[in-house]
């Protein structure tokens, strides 16, 4: 019997929400076939089965949020002949015919029998305020919300509830089994903000007498007009889960590392000549275009070998210098967020192998086909906004790393070239900027400048024809 547990899905991830089971008790799953989908603060990902077998029991139902390491399911592994113990698996699963759920799921899905709290009598509120209160979720302080009072919700939804001081028991969930979704919370927040002024104005009217009431009523009417006008002129676009998670991680990175930016201009003409000479053949052989990125990645690996402290991370009061280069490459998810899948052992790969792996990781990232370990363990990150013609970007460090390189737009520009006799002339070359954001705790500017100078030299003088062979 194999045990399926929630894996570590990132250095800072502590929990995940099971959003979908692809297999049910009694069904067979092959090795590396998707078994379930999990949602975390960083990404939604499909997790494949480590081995082939028959699902015996599902212990965590869809919609539940559990900690890393939690036992999710049990699997009857196939025997040597590959058949598996189907009858034993079916017995262990004990699927109930009414619901299709195993006993633990039925227990979790059962409605609570706890008595509802008895409401205390309260003084009747003025009619406008009473109407607004009836349509508005109950507000409490963030400290009043505890795990014991939270209804089922994802980590992002829990943070929204805490941030805005919302009582989750006062919100009607529209998700599976009454689960509170992000849209439910955002609707509650919008309702509170639009109605909050009504009670305030009513209080002012009561305290200030007839004259104050008249002024408050006029102000309320003007406020309603302003709200209606704003609603007509603007679209409310709720931040997605991945946007909220990105915001949290970026703020933490800025608060953790003293960021510095150092940039150099690089003449890519040596690379451009090789690209132009081989682009058609490359596209036919590989099925994708030969871009600048694999050239830069290959050069980065050699430069990091000479300046290893940049391939490092901060651990307490120590700099942890990594022997292997695990290159994280930022991938845009159709403008909906970023992932940085990791190319492990990049120092041992030549240009063609790097290009293949980067394309493979990018495609699977967009298709949610990455395995959990492909999103962890990066030691240095590349981000590539240059495809949109950027001049220079100041990226934010991917914690706990100490540096991230932005590869910006490469354009044809006039440059000064020197011939063998020392004579100078103007030529048109492909030129771009490489910008390194780095953590000033780890080293100083001189070390970074020397690293970037070495990187520039490698790109400009290496025999790239030989590299492609």
CATH code for the domain in which residue 134 is found: 4.10.320.10
Residue 41: the pLDDT is 65
Please say whether the dihedral angle defined by the alpha carbons of residues 456, 457, 458 and 463, taken in this order, is positive or negative.
positive
Residue 206: the pLDDT is 43
Choice among 305, 348, 440, 453 that is catalytic:
440
Half-sphere exposure of 343 (CA within 13 A, CB side): 28
The answer to whether position 248 is within a domain reads no
**Boundary of a domain, candidates 238, 272, 293:** 238
Q: Cβ contacts of residue 46 below 8 Å, gap of 6+?
A: 22, 34, 36, 37, 368, 369
The answer to whether position 183 is within a domain reads yes
Residue ranges in the chain whose pLDDT is less than 50: 80-150, 196-213, 216-217
Does 439 lie in the same domain as 351? yes
Does 333 lie in the same domain as 191? no
**Boundary of a domain, candidates 109, 140, 172:** 109
Per-residue DSSP letters for 278-312? Answer: HHHHHHHHHSS---SHHHHHHHHHHHHHHSGGGSE
Choice among 79, 305, 373, 444 that is catalytic:
444
**Boundary of a domain, candidates 204, 238, 272:** 238
Residue-number span of the structural domain to which 43 is assigned = 2-109
Looking up residue 345, the CATH number of its domain turns out to be 3.30.559.10
Does 146 lie in the same domain as 212? yes
Looking up residue 87, the CATH number of its domain turns out to be 2.40.50.100
Angle at CA of residue 303, ends 324 and 246, nearest 5°: 65
The answer to whether position 382 is within a domain reads yes
Residue 155: the pLDDT is 64
Q: Has 41 been annotated as catalytic? A: no
Does 88 lie in the same domain as 131? no
The answer to whether position 290 is within a domain reads yes
Q: Which long-range contacts (CB under 8 A, 24 or more apart) does 453-456 make?
A: 453/264, 454/303, 454/306, 454/307, 455/264, 455/266, 455/299, 455/300, 455/303, 456/264, 456/266
Q: What is the DSSP letter of 439?
A: E
Q: Has 167 been annotated as catalytic? A: no
Quickly count: other Cβ atoms within 10 Å of residue 431's Cβ: 18
DSSP strand pairing (65-67 vs 380-383): unpaired
The encoded tokens of residue 457 equal 């030299």
Does 356 lie in the same domain as 208? no
Residues in the chain, total? 469
Does 321 lie in the same domain as 421? yes
Q: Cβ contacts of residue 411 below 8 Å, gap of 6+?
A: 389, 430, 431, 432
Number of domains in the chain: 3
The answer to whether position 188 is within a domain reads yes
The answer to whether position 243 is within a domain reads no
Residue 433: the pLDDT is 97
Does 292 lie in the same domain as 414? yes
Separation CA 291–CA 366 (nearest Å):
19
Does 452 lie in the same domain as 304? yes
The answer to whether position 247 is within a domain reads no
In three-state secondary structure terms, 156 is helix
Does 303 lie in the same domain as 336? yes
The encoded tokens of residue 93 equal 């699963």
Q: Cβ contacts of residue 405 below 8 Å, gap of 6+?
A: 296, 300, 380, 381, 382, 383, 395, 434, 435, 436
Residue whose entry in the numeric block shows the structure tokens 């960083």:
42
What is the pTM assigned to this prediction? Answer: 0.61
C-alpha dist (Å) from residue 41 to 13, 274, 339: 7, 42, 12
Does 278 lie in the same domain as 331? yes
Does 362 lie in the same domain as 439? yes
Tell me the backbone φ, ψ of residue 438, rounded to 5 degrees. -140, 160
Does 463 lie in the same domain as 317? yes
The answer to whether position 184 is within a domain reads yes
């Amino acid at each position: 019997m194999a045990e399926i547990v929630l894996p570590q899905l990132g250095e800072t991830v502590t929990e995940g929400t099971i959003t979908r089971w692809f297999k049910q008790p009694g069904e067979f799953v092959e090795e590396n076939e998707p078994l379930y989908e999990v949602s975390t603060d960083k990404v939604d990902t499909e997790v494949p089965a480590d081995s082939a077998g028959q699902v015996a029991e599902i212990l965590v139902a869809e919609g539940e949020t559990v900690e890393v390491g939690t036992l999710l399911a049990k699997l009857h592994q196939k025997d040597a002949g590959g058949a598996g113990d189907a009858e034993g698996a079916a017995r262990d699963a004990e699927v109930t015919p009414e619901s299709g759920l195993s006993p633990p799921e039925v227990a979790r899905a059962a409605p609570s029998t706890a008595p509802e709290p008895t409401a205390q009598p309260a003084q009747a509120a003025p009619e406008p305020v009473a109407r607004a209160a009836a349509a508005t979720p109950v507000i409490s302080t963030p400290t009043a919300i505890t795990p014991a009072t939270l209804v089922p919700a994802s980590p992002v939804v829990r943070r929204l509830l805490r941030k805005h001081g919302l009582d989750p028991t006062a919100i009607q969930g529209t998700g599976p089994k009454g689960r509170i979704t992000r849209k439910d919370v955002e609707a509650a927040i919008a309702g509170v903000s639009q109605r909050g002024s009504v009670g305030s104005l009513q209080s002012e009217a009561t305290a200030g007498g007839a004259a104050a009431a008249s002024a408050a009523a006029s102000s309320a009417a003007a406020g309603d007009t302003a709200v209606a006008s704003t609603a007509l002129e603007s679209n409310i676009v709720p931040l997605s889960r991945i946007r909220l998670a990105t915001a949290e991680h970026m703020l933490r990175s800025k608060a953790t590392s003293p960021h510095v930016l150092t940039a150099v201009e690089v003449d890519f003409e040596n690379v451009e000549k090789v690209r132009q000479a081989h682009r058609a053949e490359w596209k036919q052989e590989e099925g994708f275009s030969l871009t600048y990125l694999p050239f830069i990645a290959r050069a980065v690996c050699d430069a990091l070998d000479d300046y290893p402290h940049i391939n490092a991370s901060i651990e307490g009061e120590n700099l942890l210098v990594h022997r292997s280069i695990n290159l994280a490459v930022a991938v845009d998810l159709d403008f909906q967020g970023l992932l940085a899948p990791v190319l492990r052992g990049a120092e041992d790969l030549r240009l063609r192998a790097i290009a293949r792996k980067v394309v493979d990781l990018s495609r699977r990232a967009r298709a949610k086909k990455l395995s959990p370990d492909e999103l962890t363990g990066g030691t240095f990150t590349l981000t590539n906004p240059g495809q949109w013609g950027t001049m220079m970007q100041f990226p934010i460090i991917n914690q706990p790393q100490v540096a991230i390189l932005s590869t910006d737009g490469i354009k044809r520009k006039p440059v000064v070239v020197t011939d063998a006799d020392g004579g100078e002339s103007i030529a048109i070359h492909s030129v771009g900027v490489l910008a390194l954001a780095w953590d000033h705790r780890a080293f100083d500017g001189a070390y970074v400048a020397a690293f970037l100078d070495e990187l520039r030299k490698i790109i400009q003088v290496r025999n790239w024809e030989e590299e492609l062979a």
